[in-house]
Amino acid sequence: MLMLGIESTCDETAAAVVEDGRIVHSSAIATQFQLHEKFRGVVPEIASRAHIENIMPVIRESLDMADIALTELDAIAVAHRPGLIGSLLIGVTAAKTLAWSLGKPLLPVDHVQAHLYSVMLAEKGHLIQGKGQEGEALLRSLPSSVTCLSLPAVGLVCSGGHTALYLVNDWLDIELIGSTIDDAVGEAYDKVAAMLGLAFPGGPEIDRLAAAGNPAALKLPRSMLGRDSLDFSFSGLKTAVRYQVFGYQGKERTLDDLTDVEIKDVAASFQAACVDALFKKVSRAVKQFNANSVVMGGGVSANRGLREAFLGLPVPVHAPPMQYCTDNAAMIAGLGYVLCQAGQAASLDLDAVTSSSIPRR
């Protein structure tokens, strides 16, 4: 089955063609970094206008990359929740129009749930290692990291808009077990990066500098929120960075006062605090629910420090290929296939919804 996925929940306009929920034939993305960089955050009105301009060229690009025609598609999947309402409406409208005109099923995908599913994706070219029947057999195979996935799993979605833990009993049976009570971890990265005069988005910059810094240079808090809590809090950490680096009223320092070494040490100390909090809460969740594995997704799951730390968890950890950590349409098409197999197609009155559909346990 060839599924077209469409993603427009925030500031990425994306389309992808995925076979049987796993084999990525194409993944096209139009980013908006330059449009939002001077605001150091996504401006909803600007994002919506950019989606309108990009949606059809991106869909055409994904079809061209996959070398297929619209008529060869078997179904259309779209991220219809959660996200910015103006952005969501562009993708949902395009998906409904294509589904109606082609007479194909329309699959409604929860963006957050798709981030967890992204560990199942594999590039078509990476799996073909032979010709004829041998090549076809390899095409249908899965990466070894996926074949050994054992459920139930603890799922972590960490990005600029989300930081939450989930119990993954099945790809269509996911429960929320913990979430941030204030900032998402990716948002904290962006704000600390702004303090340090780094480029937007801040996550990749801090991760790069942290590799050359001293993670013990600053004594920063790790908010645990109680002995058994699986929730997160990053606002206090962000405030602690500001006070320790730039001082209190009457004893202020400026960015010009910081050396390159000090900036690297701040980045390393901040990242260590974030990673430590995420690691401890995931470890706690694995123990509480007797999970067999961990799956992770979202932009922060591409973080080098986080990936290295998670190797110390007591169960296997599965992270997406780097290109599928941030928002993309391949994960939408992949989960759309699972929904289609379960007979969960939507009608053409499908709504865009700002909140996630994943229930709290």
Q: What is the mean pLDDT of residues 98-115?
A: 98
Mean per-residue pLDDT over the chain, rounded: 90
Kindly tell me if the per-residue pLDDT of 78 is higher than 80. yes
**Closest by alpha carbon to 81, among 359, 361, 360, 358?**
358
User: Cα-flanking dihedrals φ and ψ of residue 164, to 5°?
Assistant: -155, 155
Residue 20 has pLDDT above 90, yes or no: yes
Full-model pTM? 0.91
- Laid out side by side, the sheet with 23-30 consists of 106-110, 75-81, 2-7, 13-19, 23-30, 122-123
Q: Which domains, from first to last, does the chain contain?
A: 2-147+323-341 (3.30.420.40), 153-315 (3.30.420.40)
What's the pLDDT score for residue 299? Answer: 93
Most confident region among 77-81, 160-164, 247-251 by mean pLDDT: 77-81
* Tokens (6 digits) for 135: 């090549």
Q: How far apart are CA 191 and CA 246, in angstroms?
A: 14
Q: What is the predicted pLDDT for the residue at 41? A: 76
pLDDT on residue 122: 85
The predicted model gives 241-251 an average pLDDT of: 83
pLDDT in tens, 166-199: 999 999 999 999 999 999 999 999 999 999 999 8
Q: Which pLDDT does position 251 carry in this prediction? A: 72
The residues, ordered by sequence, that sit 6+ positions from 139 with a Cβ below 8 Å of its Cβ are 23, 124, 127, 128
State the pLDDT at residue 17.
97
At residue 146 the predicted structure's pLDDT band, cuts being 50, 70 and 90, is: low
Ordered alpha helix ranges (H), the chain: 33-36, 44-66, 85-102, 111-117, 124-127, 132-140, 144-147, 185-195, 202-210, 235-246, 260-289, 304-310, 330-341
Does 251 or 323 have the greater pLDDT score?
323
Q: Which amino acid is at 93?
A: T
Tell me the two tokens of residue 114.
Answer: 């798709």
Examine the pLDDT at 242 and tell me if it is beyond 50.
Answer: yes
Share of the chain above pLDDT 90, in %: 81
In this prediction, residue 141 has a pLDDT band, given cuts at 50, 70 and 90, of very low
CA distance 269 to 354: 34
pLDDT at residue 37 in the model: 79
Percent of the chain with pLDDT over 70: 92
**pLDDT > 90? residue 238:** yes
- Rounded CA Rg of the chain: 21
pLDDT in tens, 193-230: 999 999 888 999 999 999 999 999 999 999 999 899 99
Question: In the numeric block, which tokens belong to residue 285?
Answer: 């969740």
Q: At 135, is the pLDDT very low, low, confident or very high (cuts 50, 70, 90)?
A: very low
Mean pLDDT value across residues 44-70: 94
Name the pLDDT band for 124 (thresholds 50, 70, 90). low
Non-local CB neighbours of 101 within 8 Å, separated by 6+ positions: none
Summarised one tens digit per residue, pLDDT across range 34-53 is 787 778 778 888 989 999 99
Query: Using 50, 70 and 90 to split pLDDT, how confident is the model at 32?
Result: confident
Looking at residue 134, what is its pLDDT? Answer: 38
pLDDT tens for 266-298 read: 999 999 999 999 999 999 999 999 999 999 999
Model confidence at 80, in pLDDT bands (50, 70, 90)?
very high
- pLDDT value at position 140? 39
- Say what the pLDDT of residue 250 is: 62
pLDDT at 144 (0 to 100)? 41
Report the distance separating Cα 174 and Cα 154, nearest Å: 10
